[in-house]
């Protein structure tokens, strides 16, 4: 069943995002061409400027529209009239959440990769690639020196953290929407209020934590190696905890406190 949900989810989102990617592709190619031709003299020199402008807009659009679409999709498909369809399907509520979460993450990662690839296409020259590889090599060597050979662990942990943060940002929005729909007639406002509430509480808890923990940290976090050994693992632990909490609350609300109007 999850596969079918994923397929349907992909269909529903791709129909809006693929055109956007095509526009980005078009602008990427145009800009690449235009920036490497030196034929625009005088008045015509405004053309490369405009195309570059359009290109930048399309990059921003891909990132922002992806983000906004993922949020709106969750709300529209589950909390409005379509919810009557989705919540009466013979699937478990956590499958509904998973399908949206997975597809959201996929599109977010895709958008970032697309933008990076596009920038490369537009701006990179062969020398750039050599420079970048050299720069990366240097970076790697320096890191190795500082972190005493634990660079691989560091990078793996970093990637895990990035993924967890991505999941966390989606789940925080999902749980806010789920909480918001508890309030009859004020679902959207409720969602915003819940989101603000959660971020505020997290900020406060973080501040308290840092306040209490800083003397301890001053003692223990003395070397660079404490980052992969201590800081990152603690961060991962916290992120997993938050993700589980957000997920569980969302699922619970869908199972027991669904309030479709």
Helix axes 93-123, 46-79, angle to 10 degrees: 180
Instruction: Tell which one of 84, 217, 237, 248 touches another protein (CB under 8 A).
Output: 84
Q: Is 88 a residue that touches another protein (CB under 8 A)?
A: yes
Per-residue DSSP letter, 192: H
User: In the chain, which ranges are continuous DSSP H helix?
Assistant: 2-36, 46-79, 82-86, 93-123, 126-146, 151-180, 187-220, 226, 232-256
User: Is the Cα dihedral 229, 231, 232, 234 positive or negative?
Assistant: positive
Cβ–Cβ under 8 Å, residues 65 and 19: no
Question: Residue 99 interacts with another protein (CB under 8 A)?
Answer: no
| CA neighbor of 181 nearest in space, from 92, 257, 70 | 257
Q: Which is nearer to another protein, 48 or 83 (CB)?
A: 83
Told to check if 94 binds another protein by CB under 8 A, we report no
Count the residues in the chain. Answer: 261
The Cα–Cα gap between 187 and 75 comes to 10
Instruction: Point out which span in 6-14, 107-115, 161-169, 186-194 binds another protein (CB under 8 A).
Output: 6-14
Nearer to another protein, 12 or 165 (CB): 12
* Segment interacting with another protein, rule: CB under 8 A, options 30-38, 84-92, 158-166, 235-243: 84-92
Nearer to another protein, 1 or 56 (CB): 1
Return the closest-CA partner of residue 70 out of 62, 58, 81, 82. Answer: 62
| 53-61, 80-88, 113-121, 216-224 -> range binding another protein (CB under 8 A) | 80-88
Binds another protein (CB under 8 A): choice among 56, 64, 85, 163 = 85
Q: Smaller CB distance to another protein: residue 38 or 184?
A: 184
CB 104, min distance to another protein, A: 18
- What is the distance of C-alpha 257 from the center of its chain? 28
Q: Supply the minimum distance, in Å, between the C-beta of residue 11 and another protein.
A: 8
8 binds another protein (CB under 8 A): yes
Contacts to another protein by CB under 8 A: 1, 4, 7-8, 12, 15, 77, 81-85, 87-92, 184, 255-258, 260
């Amino acid at each position: 069943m999850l596969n079918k949900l994923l397929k349907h989810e992909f269909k529903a989102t791709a129909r809006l995002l693929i055109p956007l990617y095509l526009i980005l592709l078009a602008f990427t190619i145009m800009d690449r061409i235009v920036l490497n031709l030196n034929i625009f003299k005088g008045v015509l020199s405004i053309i490369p400027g405009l195309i570059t402008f359009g290109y930048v807009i399309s990059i921003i659009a891909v990132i922002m529209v992806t983000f906004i679409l993922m949020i709106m999709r969750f709300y529209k498909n589950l909390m409005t009239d379509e919810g009557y369809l989705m919540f009466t399907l013979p699937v478990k509520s956590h499958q509904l959440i998973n399908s949206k979460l997975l597809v959201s993450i996929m599109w977010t990662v895709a958008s970032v990769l697309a933008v990076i690839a596009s920038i490369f296409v537009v701006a990179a020259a062969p020398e750039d690639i050599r420079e970048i590889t050299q720069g990366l090599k240097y970076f790697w060597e320096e890191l190795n020196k500082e972190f005493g050979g634990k660079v691989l662990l560091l990078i793996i942990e970093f990637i895990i953290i990035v993924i967890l943060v991505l999941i966390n940002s989606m789940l925080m929005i999902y749980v806010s929407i789920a909480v918001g729909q508890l309030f009859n007639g004020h679902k959207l406002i409720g969602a915003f209020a819940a989101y603000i509430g959660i971020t505020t509480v997290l900020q406060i808890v973080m501040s308290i934590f840092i306040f209490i923990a800083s003397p301890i940290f001053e003692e223990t976090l003395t070397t660079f190696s404490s980052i992969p050994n201590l800081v990152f693992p603690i961060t991962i632990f916290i992120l997993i905890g938050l993700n589980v909490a957000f997920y569980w609350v969302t699922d619970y609300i869908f199972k027991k406190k669904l309030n479709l109007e």
